[in-house]
Amino acid sequence: MKKIAIIISGCGVFDGAEIHETVLTMLHIEQLGAQYQCFAPDQTQHHVINHLTGEEQQDSRNILIEAARIARGDIHDLATLNVDEFDALVVPGGFGVAKNLSDFAFKGSDSKILDTFKETCQSFSIQKKPIAYLCIAPALIGHIHPSGTVATIGNDTDTATASEALGIKHVACSATNIVVDSQNKVVSTPAYMLANSISEASQGIAKAIEQLIDMA
């Protein structure tokens, strides 16, 4: 049975992991007969957003503790992830990817990414194990994979331009479809970068997970 690692960047679309995308990832992995284990960095998230009003709160939260809400407590510190124990990796989207795993939300093509996240992803890549990046997560591919890696964030011009400046070859793609770089074993789908419903996001994520498991 294939075993897939999932890296969660918090809890909530505006300051953490996109919950629908993360849960759909878990669901599709399980429905395809594979297993998953969740991980998140044990550190303070960039900031806290009130998801009802969209306003920033004067609060401090831990990424791992917040991510544990989605994982129902079954989650480990990203620093403990042993790549040898897994066949593939998935990185769901949400602003946590661009605020907690990196500073892409603020610095775009001048961004940096979290060392433990970069090292983990590169370890999967070095071992020729596939990685699926969902939603905004493909924007970080240029920090991790060889220049020219093919990927998508959907069709947002500014995000695509910043991502290309970091080294990816961007391909426009609908929410219900995927882009595959077979040579670098990278799969991407726009998910809620474009999706207008959970059903629409699910279609693209299902295809991404199926492709990921086939490549593993």
pLDDT tens profile 75-133: 999 999 999 999 999 999 999 999 999 999 999 999 999 999 999 999 999 999 999 99
Q: What is the mean pLDDT of the chain?
A: 97
Residues with active-site annotation: 135
Domain regions of the chain by residue span: 3-215
Give the class (CATH, top level) of 3-215.
Answer: alpha beta
pLDDT of residue 188: 98
pLDDT of residue 106: 95
pLDDT of residue 215: 97
pLDDT of residue 31: 98
Crossing angle of helices 19-31 and 63-70, rounded to 10° = 50
Q: Which of 126, 61, 151, 145 is nearest to 99 (CA)?
A: 61
Q: Which of 118, 113, 97, 130 is nearest to 208 (CA)?
A: 130
pLDDT digits (tens, 9 = 90+) for 157-208: 999 999 999 999 999 999 999 999 999 999 999 999 999 999 999 999 999 9
The model carries a pTM of 0.97
